[in-house]
Amino acid sequence: MKHTVHDLGHQQKGATAVVTLDSQANVQLMTQSEYRNYKSGRRYRYTGGLAKRSPVRLTIPSSGRWIIVTDLGGYLGRYRVGVGVEPAPRGALPKIREDNPARRVEVRDDVVEPPSDDIMAGQTWDVFLSHASEDKLSVAIPLRDALAVRGVRVWLDVAELRIGSSLRRRIDQGIRSSRFGLVVLSPSFFDKGWPNHELDGIVTRTNAGEQSILPIWHEVGADEVRAYSPSLADKVALSTATHEIEAIAEEIAAVVIGDKAA
């Protein structure tokens, strides 16, 4: 169907997409994965509907990458559209706290290539954060920072993940030197071409008790994860579609710090 698309990029929960039209049209706010369903003619979820007045204001329901799609529902016609975004209200500032040693936790992000040995030069970390480079600014770095202030020691691979043995080597080394492997599953991560049996290999080691994997779903749903790895789809996961980064960090920190104290 002929349509117009505006990529809003990463937006915070509570921001407002403002759409101006010179005639009536369908206005829909959706995630990147739902937009792929829309283009393919599959069922999809959206916020919005037929707009007969302008401007149209749609509130961003959760932090993440969002897209505005406008169309005439298949009918012939013309319209002009403009799209802008108003930032979310700042709200109250965080409560004043006494100095917390957790805020001084060392976070390594200066290593471009992991050490060549299997235990990363003998160092250990609470969490190894695996991600695709496309998700670095929107998910990986904010999550790393949020975990750090909660006292979680994070190893963040700042090198781009590549397909095949290079990706497998980074993940294997990171998992071996960390108690938890935090994997951001996203369309970009899947597009790196990492095959199912390699994903399942890490899950197998997790089931053997050698390490623990904490999946995060970013712009993907259960069907997409299951298509790549049924075993990963069955694992309890947090999603950026339903949780803000701070909330995800809070839940992960509770697991990691609790495991330390056990």
Q: Label the pairing between strands 25-31 and 47-51.
A: antiparallel
Lay out the sheet containing 125-130: strands in order across.
154-156, 125-130, 178-185, 212-217, 238-239
Q: pLDDT grade, residue 202 (50/70/90)?
A: low
Structural domain includes residue 175: yes
Same domain, 227 and 144: yes
Q: pLDDT grade, residue 197 (50/70/90)?
A: very low
Structural domain includes residue 48: yes
Q: pLDDT grade, residue 56 (50/70/90)?
A: very high
Structural domain includes residue 15: yes
Structural domain includes residue 92: no
Cα 153 to Cα 10: distance, rounded to the nearest angstrom: 26
In the DSSP assignment, the letter for residue 164 is T
Q: pLDDT grade, residue 227 (50/70/90)?
A: confident
| Catalytic residue IDs | 198
Question: Is the predicted pLDDT of residue 101 greater than 50, yes or no?
Answer: no
What is the domain count for the chain? 2
Q: Where are the alpha helices (DSSP H) in 41-181?
A: 141-148, 165-176
Same domain, 218 and 126: yes
The CATH number of the domain holding residue 59 is 2.60.120.380
Q: Which of 12-26, 39-53, 200-214 has the lowest mean pLDDT?
A: 200-214
43 three-class SS:
coil
Q: pLDDT grade, residue 24 (50/70/90)?
A: very high
Res 261: pLDDT = 57
Same domain, 195 and 247: yes
Same domain, 80 and 110: no
Res 136: pLDDT = 87
The CATH number of the domain holding residue 140 is 3.40.50.10140
Higher pLDDT, 217 or 168: 217
**Enclosing domain of residue 55:** 3-86
Structural domain includes residue 94: no
67 close to 5: Cβ distance less than 8 angstroms: yes
Mean of pLDDT values over 167-192: 74
Residues 103-136: tens digit of each pLDDT:
333 333 433 344 444 444 556 778 888 888 788 8
Res 259: pLDDT = 64
178 close to 126: Cβ distance less than 8 angstroms: yes
Higher pLDDT, 173 or 162: 173
Question: Is the predicted pLDDT of residue 73 greater than 50, yes or no?
Answer: yes
In the DSSP assignment, the letter for residue 136 is I
Same domain, 138 and 82: no
Model-level pTM greater than 0.75? no
Mean of pLDDT values over 67-81: 90
Higher pLDDT, 99 or 8: 8
Mean of pLDDT values over 209-233: 80
Same domain, 136 and 255: yes
Q: pLDDT grade, residue 181 (50/70/90)?
A: confident
Collect contacts of 204-207 with beta carbons under 8 A, ≥24 apart.
205/175, 206/181
Q: What average pLDDT does the structure give for the chain?
A: 77
Q: pLDDT grade, residue 177 (50/70/90)?
A: confident
Res 159: pLDDT = 40
Q: Label the pairing between strands 212-217 and 178-185.
A: parallel
Res 262: pLDDT = 57
Question: Is the predicted pLDDT of residue 164 greater than 50, yes or no?
Answer: no
Q: pLDDT grade, residue 102 (50/70/90)?
A: very low
Question: Is the predicted pLDDT of residue 209 greater than 70, yes or no?
Answer: no
Nearest CA to 17 among 33, 29, 9, 25? 29
Work out the number of other CB atoms within 10 angstroms of the CB of residue 228: 17
